[in-house]
Amino acid sequence: MFATIKIALKDIHAGLRMRRVWIALAHEDIGDQHRRTALGPLWLLINYLAFAGTFIFVFQRGASIPNYEAYVATGLLVWFYIMETISQSVSLFVREESFIKGTTLPLSVYVMRLATQSVIRAGYAFIGCLAILVISGTSLTVMWAWSALAIVLILATAPAAIILFAFLGAYFPDSQFIVSNLTRIGMFLTPVFWAYTGGGGVRSTFYYSNPFTYFLEIVRIPILSGDVPVRSFILCGAITASLWAVALLLLGRLRKQVVFVL
C-alpha cells in the first residue's frame, strides 16, 4: 500500500512541476469554448446570474428563508463548481485518450488541467455571487474568512474527486451517463435553493444524508448567520481525507494500466 501511495505521490509531484503546462492548457480550453462568441467567457457569468435570478425571482421560495438572495447565490456558487467538476471528470481520461497514449505526461497533469479549468469557470460565478451579496445587503464580516477557508477546502478536495471519477469513467463507460443524470437530479435533492427548517420526512433525509449539504453549509453559514458550522467542517474534512486516500491508491495502482482500457 505504501509503495502504491509513493508512486501516486511521485506522479502528482511530477505533475505539479509542470504547472505551466496545465495552466496554459486550462486557459486555452476556456478560450476555445467561447472563441466564436461575442461575449466570450462572460457567458459563464450570465449563465450563473440567469440560474440565480430564476430561483430568486421566479420560484419565489424566499418567504421563509432570511436573505434568500444570498442563500441562493452562495448555494449555486458551490453547487455549480461541484457539479461541473464531477460531470467533467467522468470523461476526462476518455477525452485525453490521444495524449495519454501518445505522451508520457503524468496523469496528474490532466487532472490539474481540469481542476484549473473548473476554478476559472467558477471565478466568473464568484463575481456574480459577490454582486448578489452586495445588492442583497449582506454585511461583510470577519466570519467570511471561514467561508474563504471552506472554499480552500473544496478546492483541495477537487483533484481527488477528479482522479476517482476519471478512473471510474475509464473502466466503466456507462458511469458517464449515470453520473450525468445523478448530478441533474442532485441539484433538487441538495439544499441549493430550498432549506430544511426542522421536522422529519423525506426532506430531512435528503438534507442530512447528502454529503453535498455540508460543503454548501461551510461556505454559506458563516456569510448568512455569522456562525461556524464546526460539525460540517469536520465532516467535509473527513470526506476530503477519504477521497484523497482512495484517489492515491487508484492513481498509484492504475496509472499505467488505464491506457489499455481507453
CB 86 within 8 A of CB 215: no
Domain that holds residue 21: 2-260
Distances (CA, A) of 72 to 53, 125, 128, 129, 143: 9, 12, 12, 9, 19
Enumerate residues 6+ apart whose C-beta is below 8 A from 256.
none
Report the predicted TM-score, pTM, of the whole model to 2 decimal places.
0.91
Express each pLDDT in 209-255 by its tens digit.
889 999 999 999 999 988 899 999 999 999 999 999 999 999 988 88
Express each pLDDT in 24-72 by its tens digit.
888 887 877 777 777 777 888 888 998 888 888 877 655 577 788 899 9
Q: Report residue 90 as a C-alpha cell.
A: 467522468
Number of structural domains the chain divides into? 1
